[in-house]
């Protein structure tokens, strides 16, 4: 696995009046200067190779600036290395892989690791209906049922620990499998 391979998790893609095809999204990444862009699903997951040794936040800012210029709207971006995505997929903080009423495990990707006070505040929101576990820059969430049935205040979480984007654990696992093959 190429150590410069990363995954960009884009927030708010193909919502409302915004529409971009995977081919257009990959072309945008190539135009920004990233190599080998490959979109996964139509939900803003892009595998790419970053030139040089830039840090995560520098890569995120470069993507955000480039997409803003090309698409004419803001695209909040969270980046993980291929190795980090594989580690996230392997993390199993809950005793079960489904909520009591069938809820699917979620991974809330954070832009940076929260300080101890913010982490403690977020974890106080954990309850039987919405179990939470924090691992560095990911908040693992096991809702009891579907997300629309949850009373977890995602807005409060973002105000407490900063920008986030959420993917199902299954999506993370499939991305990790794809990364492990290449």
Q: Where are the domains of the chain?
A: 5-86, 87-181
pLDDT at 135: 95
Query: Which of 51, 48, 54 shows the shortest CA–CA distance to 10?
Result: 48
End-to-end CA distance of the chain: 6
**pLDDT class of 3 with cuts at 50, 70, 90:** confident
- Position 45 pLDDT exceeds 80: yes
pLDDT at 164: 94
Which pLDDT tens digit goes with each residue over 115-144? Answer: 999 999 999 999 999 999 999 999 999 999
**Which residue(s) pair with 142 in the sheet?**
131
pTM over 0.85: yes
Which pLDDT tens digit goes with each residue over 138-168? Answer: 999 999 998 888 999 999 999 999 999 999 9
pLDDT at 67: 94
pLDDT at 1: 67
Q: Please state which of the ranges 72-76, 107-111, 117-121 shows the lowest mean pLDDT.
A: 72-76
Collect contacts of 144-149 with beta carbons under 8 A, ≥24 apart. 144/99, 144/100, 144/101, 144/103, 145/99, 145/100, 145/101, 145/102, 145/103, 146/102, 146/103, 147/103, 147/106, 149/101, 149/103
**pLDDT class of 101 with cuts at 50, 70, 90:** confident
Q: Regarding the domain delimited by 5-86, which CATH topology (the fold level of the hierarchy) does it fall under?
A: Alpha-Beta Plaits (3.30.70)
Q: Residue with structure tokens 């579907």? A: 146
Asked, colleague to colleague, whether 5-86 and 87-181 share their fold, the answer is yes
Summarize the confidence of residues 22-41 as an average pLDDT.
94
Which residues lie closer than 8 Å to 98 by C-beta, 6 or more apart?
104, 105, 142
Instruction: For the domain covering 87-181, report its CATH number.
Output: 3.30.70
């Amino acid at each position: 696995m190429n150590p410069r391979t990363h995954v960009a998790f884009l927030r708010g893609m193909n919502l409302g009046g915004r529409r971009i095809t995977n081919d257009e999204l990959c072309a945008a990444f190539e135009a920004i200067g990233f190599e080998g862009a490959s979109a996964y699903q139509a939900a803003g997951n892009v595998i790419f190779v970053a030139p040089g040794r830039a840090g995560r936040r520098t890569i995120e800012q470069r993507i955000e600036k480039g997409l803003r210029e090309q698409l004419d709207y803001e695209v909040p971006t969270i980046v993980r290395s291929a190795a980090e995505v594989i580690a996230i997929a392997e993390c199993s903080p809950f005793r079960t892989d489904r909520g009591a009423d069938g809820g699917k495990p979620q991974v809330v990707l954070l832009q940076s690791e929260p300080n101890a006070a913010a982490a403690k505040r977020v974890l106080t929101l954990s309850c039987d209906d919405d179990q939470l576990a924090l691992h560095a820059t990911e908040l693992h969430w096991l809702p009891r049922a579907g997300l629309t049935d949850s009373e977890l205040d995602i807005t409060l979480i973002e105000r407490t620990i900063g920008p986030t984007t959420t993917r199902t654990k299954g999506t993370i696992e499939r991305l990790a499998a794809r990364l492990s093959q290449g």
